[in-house]
Structure 1
């Protein structure tokens, strides 16, 4: 009888932990001038980063911005500059969560930042290749992965192949702007 009681107690204690681990991801649709990209964000492993990204999404911040840095076989970066390459005003920078166990592999979305690990604001990038060299290590912070592409990876690869040039002091800028028309949450009923 005691074994059953201990089992029931352990099961009761473990159920809330399991429920948290199975928390659903947040689904996002990014509508671009090149097509749609759908993403599943990971609020369990990157809670601060996902909350920050969603604040920008919900405010409509990304509408009309561009993918301003495109490097084939590496990544596509956007979320901070408009078509004229004017930097947008952002919210405060967030803490780096790159030690969350998620890796910068092909098809993941991560936060862009400066050399300061805790400097990410609105800019993000989608990995076009496996870029584990961008992951955090015990001796250095990496780039925080906070989700992955679930549909539209062909669109990501298409953006990665657009012709680029140097412009406005930046390199790898698409000659024809790739515009982020809208970023929205996908409701669970869709």
Structure 2
């Protein structure tokens, strides 16, 4: 049986997708507190208000011919387009992980319908993979956490993102730059094909794994991630 997220890994809607040491890198999860967009600004503790879903407008992106990465998963395939002009360090880091085969065999370890799906850091046995050094935050790039966009998960330290990423399944303005602490979550791409796969992932039944929550009861495995032209 799988269980709760640990150390800010897969936490419930009360927490943002933060990536914590020894845990999942999750985007800050927001708690729904009556009104839309209510936020709590305590990131280090893994508490960020869970922004209620606003209208799911199409994700905006810079006009550019960008590289695409195709993910083959046990739930189906999807393709994301990345934007090096907007987030050069983030995209370079992400593509290094793709080219090295790092994502093969990792899972979507945190799934919250109405918020986001997060993966790229743990194997199917819920063991966290070692990563390279973290990268600087590039949230101040004009891209918003709209439905279908892809962003980096991190801890309360804004410059702590490594390999874990998340896909927004609704518009999440509470994750945008600037947050109350002056930071945000760095969007670096969007899903351009296979959003139906992401929709299947977000609807998967979840359970707890140790201290981690929102973990898919049946592992959703990333079989491969490949750059496509």
TM-score class, shorter: 0.7 to 0.9
Give the equivalent residue in structure 2 for 1:36.
77
Report 1:77-156 matches (<5 A): 77-137=118-178, 139-156=181-198
Contact 1:28 1:184 (8 Å CA) reproduced: yes
What is the rounded CA distance, in whole Å, between the counterparts of 2:104 and 2:84 in structure 1?
23
Give the equivalent residue in structure 2 for 1:16.
none
Q: 1:73 aligns with which of 108, 114, 123?
A: 114
- Larger Rg: 1 or 2? 1
Give the equivalent residue in structure 2 for 1:7.
none
Give the equivalent residue in structure 2 for 1:177.
219
* 100-109 or 130-139, which deviates more: 130-139
What is the rounded CA distance, in whole Å, between the counterparts of 1:124 and 1:23 in structure 2?
22
Does the C-alpha gap of structure 1 residues 135 and 161 become closer, same or farther in structure 2, counting only changes over 3 Å? same
Matched, 1:158 2:200: yes
Structure 1 unaligned spans of 5+ = 1-20
Contact 1:85 1:168 (8 Å CA) reproduced: no
TM-score by length of structure 1 reads 0.86
Provide the aligned C-alpha RMSD in A. Answer: 1.2
1:116-174 alpha-carbon deviations (Å, 9 max, x no partner): 00000000000000001101117511000000000111110110000001103211000
TM-score by length of structure 2 reads 0.71
Structure 2 unaligned spans of 5+ = 1-61
